[in-house]
Amino acid sequence: MNSNHLRYSKNHEWIGLKIQNEIQNKKAYVGITNFAKKELGDIIYLDIEDTIIGKIIKKGEIFGTIEAVKTVSDLFMPVSGCILEINKKLLSKPEQINKDSYNKGWMIIIEILYIKEYKKLMSLEEYNKYIQNPPIK
């Protein structure tokens, strides 16, 4: 995945259309950003239940968890969507996310429900500014 063609959430998930520039298709890959990967540290476990396949998960809801040496973190849906597929290879080899979080490190494939949500996510330029000046919680 070319990171220039992705959209980014404030929770550090990325989403990329499965067929680039074809919004009508509405199928997209979802994963975590390099920033999130660096913040978490070495990833050692990924938990995404098979039971979510075929389910609709709304924007901001949790679709799984990721565990690193430092911490455990929830994975949030960047947009509302129906879960089509889980990257099963990551479940047995989560360290693949450490090596390549944008290509082989995708976590799920979804069908986007509301393309407006996708369009409201940050571009790469906007995301880079966001991570340089994160909001104070």
Structure tokens at 108: 């799920």
Can you tell me the mean pLDDT for 106-111? 96
How, if at all, do strands 7-8 and 13-17 pair?
antiparallel
Mean pLDDT of the 101-129 span? 94
Q: What is the mean pLDDT of residues 90-117?
A: 93
Nearest to residue 35, comparing CAs of 129, 136, 104, 137? 129
Residue 88 identity (one-letter amino acid): K
Q: What angle do CA 15, 16, 21 make, to 5 degrees?
A: 140
Output helix, strand, coil percentages for the chain, rounded to the nearest 5. 25, 30, 40
Asked whether the whole model's pTM tops 0.85, one would answer: yes
Kindly report the backbone phi and psi dihedral angles of residue 132, in degrees, each rounded to the nearest multiple of 5, phi listed first. -75, -30
Q: Which CATH number fits domain 3-132: 2.20.28.120, 2.40.50.100, 2.60.40.60, 3.40.50.720?
A: 2.40.50.100
| Mean residue pLDDT across the chain | 90
- Give the pLDDT confidence of 17-75 residue by residue, as tens digits: 876 666 667 899 999 999 999 999 999 999 999 999 999 999 999 999 999 988 999 99
Please compute the mean of the pLDDT values over residues 87-113 and round it to a whole number. 93
